[in-house]
A and B are shown apart, each in its own frame.
Chain A
Amino acid sequence: MHYSGWTLAWNALSGHKNWRPAWRDASPKASYDVVIIGGGGHGLATAHYLAKEHGITNVAVLEKNWIGSGNAGRNTTIIRSNYLLPGNERFYEWSMKLWEGLEQDLNYNTMVSQRGIINVYHSDTQRDAYARRGNAMRLHGAGGELLNREQLRALLPYLDYDNARFPIHGGLMQRRAGTARHDAVVWGYARAASDRGVDIVQNCEVTGIKIENDRASGVETTRGAIRAKKIGIVVAGNSSRLAAMAGLRLPIESHIMQAFVSEGVKPLIDHVITFGAGHFYISQSDKGGLVFGGDIDGYNSYAQRGNLPTVEDVCEGGVALMPVIGRLRIVRSWGGLVDMSMDGSPIIDRTPIDGLYLNAAWNYGGFKATPGSGWCFAHLIARDEPHLAASAFRLDRYFKGDVIDERGAGPQPNLH
């Protein structure tokens, strides 16, 4: 189903009874060239770029639930490329460039809104660290501006500048960052992939990975066995469980991350804002709700729901940054499973098993990576070599001392 003014008018006049699904809900075939395990944004993006950029269309995306029901539907929709380390920044900037052309590429309104992100700083040392990060961003073409207190006050007059404990000294701004509509990203990639012949198979949980002569040859699923020449695992949150089916252990712990939305209010927050003295970030959706989040709960979890101390911590951070939101009510909160890796950075790589590829460890930042992750994973699967933008995201980097530890926290997943 493609949309235009003509289809809208025709369907309106015919009582909206003739809308058709945007993509095919396929039944699995017996074999494929490539099977992608995981029908989230990253898996669907991988299928789209496999079909479009590499001409590989005999592809199935297997999703245990409905597409986009995991983290693709549970994030806070922020897109940005404001990292410090070269291994990260070149990847996230490539992803940002793909976001900027995504609606044209997919012919689908993913509501990419480059409203700008501002990381607020609260001390001289933090300003120096942000200046360094801004310089790294500019070296990679991502752009970045250091705002002083008065420049920031002109943009965000409602922050608590004279907070006794955490006075606000300024902010680091990336104007190209912003938000996108998370569900539309899933549906747009699904439609584009489906139109090129990719089978999207829902309610199809992978229960085993078949390995013959040290080579992955297929998967067992709740909808029968499927043979495949190549298999990609893209199931952040459950990566360890899938890898265990192939006998692999990963440098990953699954953690719970909560997010929140307030009641709808008139336009208040025009940007994405992050607190520098605690962990809190916020933006406002087009419906008016404030969408915000903070730290992970901090213990291994597969529960998709968190605990109250984290709710309290996030809200304290928010009220310390902008007391103006203190009277708003939270109308929804939810939890998603995130792969927390040992260095806080992702993995896009081959595994020790031929034909089995891994895309994992997105920590709490997977949404912004969706286009870049799909692009680089498709490149890896199609050509058996890493894409330059993701060439640092190797599985063996932990053992070689090449970790990409943005925060400098060491091998302790709940600290990243």
Chain B
Amino acid sequence: MRIPCPHCGLRDVREFTYLGDAAPQRPDPNGADAVDRFNAYVYLRDNPAGAHGELWYHGAGCQAWLAVERDTRTHAIAGVRSYKAGA
């Protein structure tokens, strides 16, 4: 598997570190249902068979976080963009 890094070009997967699903967003700790939301944020995942938005860190390259759109059934990558938390 190779990932087309927007900064470095097409690079081998061993240059990257995987974090996981990009969807979970840190909830408002002061919200009314903060405990339930934090439980879901930390522990629960959709884990789809198919298109999956996920975060990879290019540690052996540009050291940027990347948002990768990848098919978990084929490992085919549909898109990669630079990722910034909260952006």
Contact = CB atoms under 8 A, between A and B. Distances in A.
Interface in A59-82: none
Contact of A342 (B12, B43, B49): B43
Interface in B38-73: 39-40, 42-49, 52, 54, 70, 72-73
Given A253-B20, A300-B21, A300-B52, A398 B12 contact: no
B42 A252 contact: no
Contacts of A300: 20-21, 47, 52, 54, 72
B75 A301 contact: yes
Interface residues of A, number: 25
A302 B49 contact: yes
A14 to B, nearest CB: 47
A370 interface: no
B42 A250 contact: no
A254 B49 contact: yes
Contacts of B46: 240, 244, 249
A250 B52 CA distance: 16
Interface stretch (A146-154, A208-216, A386-394, A408-416): A408-416
B13 A253 contact: no
A241 B74 CA distance: 17
Interface in A222-264: 238, 240-241, 244, 249-254
Interface in B8-57: 12-14, 18, 20-21, 39-40, 42-49, 52, 54
A206 to B, nearest CB: 14
A251 B45 contact: yes
Interface residues of B, number: 24
B1 interface: yes
A342 B20 CA distance: 12
A299 interface: yes
Interface in A297-321: 298-303, 307, 309
A251 B44 contact: yes
A411 B13 contact: no
Contact of A249 (B14, B45, B74): B45
Interface in A386-408: 398-399
A250 B75 contact: no
Contacts, number: 65
A405 B72 CA distance: 26
Contacts of A249: 40, 44-46
B73 A254 contact: no
Contacts of B18: 298-299, 414
Nearest to A403: B43
B43 A398 contact: yes
Most chain-A CB neighbours within 10 Å: which of B40, B54, B72?
A: B72
A303 B54 CA distance: 16
Given A298-B18, A300-B54, A413-B20, A307 B47 contact: no
B20 A412 contact: yes
Contacts of B72: 254, 300-303
A251 B21 CA distance: 12
Contact of B47 (A252, A398, A399): A252
Most chain-A CB neighbours within 10 Å: which of B48, B49, B70, B73?
A: B49
A307 B52 CA distance: 18
Given A253-B47, A412-B20, A309 B12 contact: yes
Nearest to B18: A299
Given A303-B73, A399-B39, A413-B20, A250 B45 contact: yes
Nearest to A302: B49
A411 B75 contact: no
A399 B42 CA distance: 9
A413 B49 CA distance: 17
Interface of B: 1, 12-14, 18, 20-21, 39-40, 42-49, 52, 54, 70, 72-75
28 contacts: A240-B46, A240-B47, A241-B47, A241-B49, A249-B46, A250-B45, A250-B47, A254-B49, A254-B72, A300-B21, A300-B47, A300-B54, A300-B72, A301-B75, A302-B49, A303-B75, A307-B1, A307-B13, A307-B75, A309-B12, A309-B14, A342-B43, A398-B39, A398-B42, A398-B43, A399-B43, A411-B42, A411-B43
